Amino acid sequence: MSTLSREFREIYARSGLSRPYEEYLRRIALLSTSAYAAAALILLLVNSLIFQVWGFRLVMIVLPPSAIIGVSVLIIGLYYPLYKRNQRRTQIEDSLLYALSYMAALSAGGLPIERIMERVSEVEESEAVKMIANKFMADVRLFGFDVPSALRDAARRSPSETMEKLLEGLRNVIQTSGDLNSLLTYEVDRMLGRRREKLKRMMGTLVYLGELYVSLLIVAPILFILILTILSVIGGNPLGVPPQIQLNLLVFIGIPTMAAGFAIILDVILGGEE
């Protein structure tokens, strides 16, 4: 149980939520308890006053649905930090290459890491990257952290492993050689290579999905419509269902369902790529 608590605390720290951890847990407990009590009260009043249900039957009608509602609110509250962490991780990894390129250009001009992070916090469009830069600046200017400690704290709160390794690398470079430009240039080149490989794999997958889309949602429906039309003319009924009904099911349910499935698959594959 303590391991789960530590893991959830780490997830919460990387989610970017502003409330203190303990306060968030108390709020979740309060909301789930309130949802349970409200659902139980509403069900109790409706079933006892309107439907005149009493006794054990009333208990079975009120308690299980109320418990389900309360537990559902609790699960949603516990899942929300995980959702926010994954959302921030996607935002960071989508925009990190551009932020790194900007940081490398600034470091080539001889700017220290404090000025680089300050500029990133001012011009970066990604809220997730900007939040990490603002966290670093707050640690340095408001809380008096030295630069390595502020970088370590920012890395600990980063939802992206790539960003975390970058910040740890910056921390090690500052403590040793101090050559930020070499590290940032190397990271930009490495991320460009990874982005090219990812785009190549994505293009291959999209070509395959395009062929599958043409086969399943264009060619196959046309063939089925022709077959069902011929069957309706000659009076055939091979599946025990009139061809007209089969045709309606295909056009109004089958094709839209397959199209929605392809849209979901594309959304998962593209994953927020711009």
Number of helices (H), then strands (E), in the chain: 11, 0
Which of 192, 218, 242 corresponds to the end of one domain?
Answer: 192
Q: Are residues 101 and 47 in the same domain?
A: no
Amino acid at 81: P
Do residues 188 and 96 share a domain? yes
Q: What is the rounded CA–CA span in Å between residue 38 and residue 59? A: 15
Q: What pLDDT, in 10s, does the model give residues 180-196?
A: 999 999 999 999 998 89
Please state, rounded to an integer, the average pLDDT across all residues of the chain: 89
Task: Work out whether the CA dihedral 3, 17, 136, 126 comes out positive or negative.
Answer: positive
Domain with 177 in it:
91-192
Of 192, 224, 245, which residue is a domain's last? Answer: 192
Q: Is the pTM of this model over 0.75?
A: no
From 90, 121, 146, give the residue that closes a domain: 90
Same domain, 84 and 101: no
Number of domains present in the structure of the chain: 3
- The position carrying tokens 């990894």 is 93
pLDDT for 255 beyond 50: yes
Mean pLDDT throughout 213-231? 87
pLDDT (tens digit per residue) in 238-248:
666 777 788 88
Q: Answer whether residue 10 shows pLDDT above 60.
A: yes
Distance, CA of 197 to CA of 163 (rounded, Å): 19
Angle at Cα 243 formed by Cα 238 and Cα 247, nearest 5°? 130
pLDDT digits (tens, 9 = 90+) for 28-85: 999 999 999 999 999 999 888 887 878 888 888 889 999 999 999 999 999 999 999 9
pLDDT digits (tens, 9 = 90+) for 137-176: 999 999 999 999 999 999 999 999 999 999 999 999 999 8
